[in-house]
Amino acid sequence: MNGRRHRVVVVGGGFGGVRATRALSGADADVTIVDRTNHHLFQPLLYQVATAILPAGLIAPPLRRVVRKQANAHTVLADVRELDLDGRVVHALAPDGRDLALPYDSLVVAAGCTDTYFGHDEWAAFAPGLKTLEDARHLRSHILSAFEMAELATDPAERAAYLTFAVVGAGPTGVEMVGQVAELAHEVLTTEATILLIEAGPAVLAAFAPRLQRYTRRRLERMGVDMLLNTTALDIDHDSITVKDGDGKRRIPARTKIWAAGVRASPLATMLAEATGAGTDRAGRVTVRPDCSLPGHPEVFAIGDMVSLNNLPAVAQPAIQEGVYVGRLIRARMAGQTPEKPFSYRDKGSMATIGHLSAVVDSFGMKFTGVIGYTMWAFVHVLYIVGWGNRIGTILNWTRAMTFTKNRPHRTITFERAQYEVAEDAGTTEAAPG
């Protein structure tokens, strides 16, 4: 390379991107992380921001702070628009409209995934998902606005609609979200809210062991959640959701709908597939080689939720382990060493929290529920939060919100924000205030 340092561009500052960057610490390389946000998001706890348990800053430290001790890494806030694999250049759009050209010798694409509405993208306006800080903040405002509007409603039917919360999808995200909405409604605000969990399949947490599924269902029922299993969403509008089950179709008035029913890979996965001839699966994830590289381009890697590799789930652990593997592989190639073995995933298990002091854990062949499961869940999640200050802050917020006061200290809202949420709910506004 004529004495020039190896250039690595990492697209995405999530679990995979950050781990790949850290694995290159001290290497004779310049690493550039380019992302549409300036923070590293701990996505598994987003639902706690949406339900007023945690402030956003604790789970979203600035990317510059995350890599501040790594002299060979820096971050760029931009939106990647094109991947020129032949020219080895990433083209991105800066916030001021400038076109940025980021040349690379090695490229790591870790762009994650987005929500999929299975051909009904119009539902996104009425049933937002939970993938970004903006999603969490919007949901928090929407949920709090619903309670405030219910206080003002004089029509019982209108009040009931404001106090009906429907979560679509009973995977870990849906279960964790519905559990916290139920606790917020029934323990913190003590309302007569109706909490619905809608699932097209026959069970909650379908990927978990049957014993854990049964425990989760019993626990949610005790928390006041109505589970509509074998029930498919047919239509969603601003004030209702129409579902179909064994008894036919019915319309459920509900002003708050939350989507947790499916994900689709970032559009960059399709871009990589088209450029390299790689295949994609039903979720749009690009198929990568055993070393996470793309066909015909050994210098280009894709990792995390946007890739299809060995049927791995779209969760944090594969992204973390792939990021470390790819970072080490790039280092080995730079040193002229024999390439590492193909990527091998170490399954550390699955876990999901249901409510306070209640979780399910399936790890290394052992299954835990209740307080033990909750303690394990809390320990693992705190461990992966970046920064000791954020870890301690998270523990203190959990203690305050769910143990001593049964309060949600971050349920603040303004008149202007509530006004916007009500207008958006009716489809009469386009932009959020401020």
Which CATH number does the domain housing residue 288 bear?
A: 3.50.50.60
pLDDT digits (tens, 9 = 90+) for 252-296: 999 999 999 989 999 999 999 999 999 999 999 999 999 999 999
Residue by residue, pLDDT tens for the chain (434 residues) are 566 899 999 999 999 999 999 999 999 999 999 999 999 999 999 999 999 999 999 999 999 999 999 999 999 999 999 999 999 999 999 999 999 999 999 999 999 999 999 999 999 999 999 999 999 999 999 999 999 999 999 999 999 999 999 999 999 999 999 999 999 999 889 889 999 999 999 999 999 999 999 999 999 999 999 999 999 999 999 999 999 999 999 999 999 999 999 899 999 999 999 999 999 999 999 999 999 999 999 999 999 999 999 999 988 999 999 999 999 999 999 999 877 799 999 999 999 999 989 999 999 889 999 999 999 999 999 999 999 999 999 999 998 876 765 778 888 888 888 888 888 766 666 555 54
Same domain, 325 and 365: no
Tabulate helix, strand, coil % of the chain (nearest 5).
Answer: 35, 25, 35
Does 53 map to a domain?
no
Give the full edge-to-edge strand order of the sheet including 164-168.
Answer: 225-228, 194-198, 164-168, 256-259
Q: What CA–CA distance (Å, rounded) separates 245 from 38?
A: 43
Does 431 map to a domain?
no
Same domain, 252 and 276: no
Same domain, 143 and 238: yes
Residue finishing a domain among 334, 367, 383? 334
Q: What CA–CA distance (Å, rounded) separates 34 from 12?
A: 6
Does 57 map to a domain?
no
Same domain, 417 and 284: no
Same domain, 108 and 245: no
Residue with tokens 């781990």: 19
For the chain, how many structural domains are there in total? 2
Same domain, 140 and 246: yes
Residue finishing a domain among 334, 364, 391? 334
Same domain, 216 and 313: no
Task: Report in angstroms the alpha-carbon separations of 162 from 99, 155, 156, 175, 210.
Answer: 45, 11, 10, 21, 34
Q: Active site includes 176?
A: yes
Residue finishing a domain among 334, 366, 381? 334
Same domain, 411 and 370: yes
Same domain, 22 and 101: yes
Neighbours of 378 (CB within 10 A): 17
Choosing from 122, 176, 183, 322, which is the catalytic residue?
176
Q: Which domain holds residue 165?
A: 121-261+349-423
Q: What CA–CA distance (Å, rounded) separates 234 from 22?
A: 45
Q: What CA–CA distance (Å, rounded) separates 303 from 312?
A: 11
Same domain, 25 and 83: yes
Same domain, 301 and 369: no
Same domain, 416 and 292: no
Predicted TM-score (pTM) of the model is 0.92
Does 225 map to a domain?
yes
Q: What CA–CA distance (Å, rounded) separates 342 from 82?
A: 28
Does 429 map to a domain?
no
The answer to whether 350 and 173 have CB atoms below 8 angstroms apart is no
Does 430 map to a domain?
no
Does 187 map to a domain?
yes
Task: Report in angstroms the alpha-carbon separations of 217 from 151, 205, 235, 247, 252.
Answer: 30, 9, 25, 21, 22
CATH code for the domain in which residue 384 is found: 3.50.50.100
Does 342 map to a domain?
no
